[in-house]
Amino acid sequence: MTVRQQPVRIKTKKRIQIILLLVSLAFMGLFSRLIWIQLFKGEELQKMAYEARFRDVAIEAKRGVISDRNGRPLAISITTDSFYANPPQIEEGKEAEIAQQLSGILGVSQTEILNQITKNQAFVWIQRKVDKEKAEAIKALSLKGIHSVEEPERVYPKGALLANVLGFVGMDNNGLNGIEASFDKTLSGTPGTLMVEFDSKNQRIPEATQKFIAPVDGSSLVLTIDETIQYIAERELRKLAETHQTDRAGILVMEPKTGRILAMAVSPTFDPNAYNKYDENLWKNLLISDVYEPGSTFKTVVMSGALEEGVVTPQDTFYCGGAIKVKGGTIRCWRTGRPHGYETFFEGVQNSCNPVFVTIGLKMGQDLFYKYLNGFGFGQKTGIDLPGEGTGLIVGQKRCTELDLATMSIGQANAVTPIQLLTAFCAICNGGNLMKPQIVQEIRDASGNLVETIEPEIVRQVISPETSKTVLSALETVVSQGTGKAAYIEGYRVGGKTGTAQKIIPGGGYSSTEFIPSFMGVAPANDPQIVCLVVADNPKTGVHTGSAVCAPAFESVVRDTLSYLKVPAQVVPEQVSASSLQAVTVPSLVEKDVQAAVAEIQQAGLQASVIGDGAQVIAQLPLANTQILKGNSVVLYTRMPKNAGTAAQIPAPELTGKTKEEILKISEGVDLSFEIVGEGVAMYQDPAPGTLIQAGDKITVQLEEEKEPSEEPLDP
């Protein structure tokens, strides 16, 4: 029997050993798993348990105040109630009733609220930043599972004032546009957290552990903007937009010596308190983002560079025959049919004469022209602390033709932003320093302590103080005697430049019905305190020149601003000159009887000198409308026989505006030959009228068909 039981015992023992081994392996596996969980996964699982136990409710920090340079608030944050639901806490069967009650107060769809509180298992927002009356009504209901938390709300107390500069914030208190976006990190501060303990059924535990981490409020900004000047600018901009029915318009006011922006007004605008109710195109700040061909306001840049390089001097004279021919095309003066004739440099500026500036631009040449185009900052961002700034568009120097250079000289071909143009004008007016435009001047912490002062920044010196002074003198005559008379301000010396640019047609060419008029000026011209640019897009009332549309708005803005800043009026003593030094305007004497012409000259206090034996005046020097000192002589040239001799000299007759038949009639009485090219009326001639030439010389006359005035470049 013993022999027969031995195999059974052995088998049993083996089974026990196997079981023990398996149990040991199982314990080893569990122990290894325990070690893995404890050492390697412990922190992660602890975090998961903590998150299951607590709910974090973010508490936004108050954004810093944005104020004008005098501390007047433009953007502030106030405390409002935001409501959220904890669905597990809502009594079963009460969901629809609660949704109905909330819907009636908040004006939100009952179905939408019901979906929020039934399809979510944890924290869900019902509505954020609820106004005071609605919040009190909800709290009075004491709805189980519905809770509130205080959040800051951004408010713009002045409504639409400066809206396109300030921008706005989103529901999460983050800056989305304007200063709010570009200084978002500075303004937003650090959010806080409210941690609430929940049980295993996901219900908030009354009197349970709660932890509150207080938010850190954001820093505040002090802008360079002056609220009063901003109000003045927006007031005048509304008048301009309503009077002339513009698509858009803008006014920009700066301190030329510092680059600080005092006002930046855009029309149409929006209310940042309800920005989402407006077309997003109204959010843009066209004064820094949009580009346009500036027209004659750009001539200030051309004249500055030319004077700095000695290409032109104030003593130089020019001739406008109504047009100027360049390689690749013909550029007309804006005053078609009534050319300016001979002009001094200052008169060319006063008249905004295209041929004068084309001549100057071509004399500069590409290298010098681009030196100042780049030097004044065109084709580059100015670096202003606002989002969405454009760079502008300039013709590449490598592909620039003579025609491009000529058109750039009168403010066409290149597209600039308004902030670029006025920043360049600041340099022209302040002695030659290109300043970085500045919109923020101080940063202060939540307690009002100064954190940083942002000082004016000189980018580079572009022209000399002497050139700046000469340009200012020329621009002052534009307002006192030229196309900018509507900008004149009693008691102040004002300089400025008009501009009327034709809008570009999509696909190429210029519109004959849509324009961008502008006016850019400085006051006082002898001690610049402010510069101002007024620009309008597509006025529809039939008046579309910078002198008519924009100069009056400039006058009102600058007049009231100078008064507000207490800039003293300037009284210039009246200069009384001796009669021998009085200026006299030379009358038009061509085609008049010689005796009558002599009598008219003498009556004006001038002396007459007659050359030739004809009975009628065919030319005169100086030309008509030229100012000369009383007592000086006027030379009258009469019709002379063709055999007068080759040594005789005669001034080239003025042929501009005359037909071919009229030119041929004039040629019958003078010993000159004429080359007449084209059909229509004379647009320009070579040599220019009044130039003394030898008998027998040739005059080339270019004829062109007259066009409607609306098709011509309009630059005043």
Give the catalytic positions in this structure: 296
Instruction: Please give the Cα distance from 281 to 230 (Å, whole number).
Output: 21
Q: Find, among 207, 148, 249, 119, the residue nearest to 540 by Cα.
A: 249
Instruction: Please give the Cα distance from 618 to 694 (Å, whole number).
Output: 16
The torsion region of residue 341 among left (phi > 0), alpha (psi -120 to 50) and beta comes to: left
Q: Find, among 59, 56, 83, the residue nearest to 195 by Cα.
A: 56
Got the DSSP string for 538-552?
---SS---HHHHTHH
Instruction: Please give the Cα distance from 317 to 338 (Å, whole number).
Output: 18
Q: Are strands 192-197 and 210-213 parallel, antiparallel or unpaired?
A: antiparallel
- Residue 243: DSSP 8-state: H
- Residue 276: DSSP 8-state: G
Instruction: Please give the Cα distance from 173 to 175 (Å, whole number).
Output: 7
By the 8 A CB rule, do 377 and 504 touch? no
* 709 upstream amide cis, omega within 30 of 0: no
φ, ψ for residue 265, nearest 5 deg: -110, 135
By the 8 A CB rule, do 151 and 60 touch? yes
By the 8 A CB rule, do 250 and 535 touch? yes
β-sheet with 633-638: strand ranges across = 607-611, 633-638, 617-621
256 residue type, one letter: P
Q: Find, among 685, 622, 620, 665, the residue nearest to 322 by Cα.
A: 685
